[in-house]
Amino acid sequence: MHPLLKKPRALATYLLVWLLTGGALAAAWAQLAPTDGIWGLGFWLPLALLTGLAALSLYTVCRSTPLRPARWMSTLSRRAAAALLLALLVTAVAALWNATGTLWGRAGLVTLTPVAWLAFFGAQTLVFALSALIHDALLAQQAMQAAMATEAQARLLAREMEIKALRRQLDPHFLFNSLNSISSLIQIDQAAARAMTIDLAQFFRLSLGLGERQRIRLEEELELVQHYLAIEQRRLGDKLRLSIDADAACRHVWLPPLVLQPLVENAIKHGIRQLDFGGLIELSAVRAGDRLTLRVSNPVHALARRDASGLGQGLRHLHQRLQAQYDEPTAVDVEDTADRYTVRVSLPWHT
């Protein structure tokens, strides 16, 4: 079915354009043949409407035989044959319709010479050829939109798989370490063991819930990070300190889930744990125009091995996931100095 037939307003507009075209042709004909007068309107209006409706039938022809580089000659031949056939049919109908003028004592509704009929047939052929080209362009656009929709669906599925893979990677390692810490605390500090158990339950409840959503507020991600850090702080003690700088506006920005938590986890794993006296993890969120910049900074050992590329596998994975989430540009940058390692994530500002 032609797309216009599914849209009554668009179809009405299309037919109105053809009726106006028929009116313009009747007015032009009245200048060429003043004796035909109002009869020209009765001839040209119905034929213009018929031409417009016949042109829609080329959608089926173009759809059944799409243009292919390897078969372009045969495909164009079919388009030309369809245009000629439609022009011949409309010209035949026009001749029959013109002959109804005899019912009112005229030779025809309008007076057309053989040369005029040939020009009419040629004009019809040209209109239908152009219609075929327009329909080919329409079908190409539809194919492009379908391909984009398929790509978007594939990107969405890839995002879901990536988040699930990230959670599978995180959950066992973090869970086993936390349970071992809880087991040790039970013997020496039952209140601390209970508090750690609550934080662990809250962390997994939030991570499971947030991971299923496409967008979350930054404040929800920060809550997840704070539960994670509360667990790690009971294991590391004074070695782990945290500073969070994010105003209320930034906390209400939407972003994909599990952006900050993996960065904080890496800051502890590759920074704090490697240092005898630990250090401060700085987490900030600021607005820069229409962008949100997230920053996670942690101390590092001066002799620690660094990724030569400046962007580790986990950060590359995060960048790819963000690019799949946004149509606008995203960025994940690293600043690596002698004593601190800083990751900056730049996202579109969506509230």
Delineate the domains of the chain, giving CATH numbers in brackets. 3-149 (no CATH), 189-348 (3.30.565.10)
Q: How many residues does the chain have?
A: 351
pTM, rounded to two decimals:
0.51
Q: How many CA atoms lie within 13 A of 327 on its CB side?
A: 4
> Mean pLDDT throughout 324-343?
86
Q: In what order do the strands lie in the sheet with 279-288?
A: 240-246, 279-288, 291-299, 340-348, 331-336
- Alpha carbon of residue 17 to chain centroid: 33
Backbone angles phi, psi at 191, to 5 degrees: -65, -40
List, for residues 126-181, the tens digit of each pLDDT value.
989 898 888 888 888 888 888 887 777 666 666 665 555 555 555 566 666 677 77
Q: Where are the alpha helices (DSSP H) in the chain?
A: 8-32, 38-56, 58-64, 72-99, 114-188, 190-211, 218-236, 248-251, 260-270, 313-325
Q: Which of helix, strand or coil describes residue 231?
A: helix
Q: Copy the structure tokens of residue 111.
A: 């007076």
pLDDT band (50, 70, 90) for residue 308: very low
Query: 66 pLDDT exceeds 50?
Result: yes
List, for residues 23-33, the tens digit of each pLDDT value.
888 888 888 88
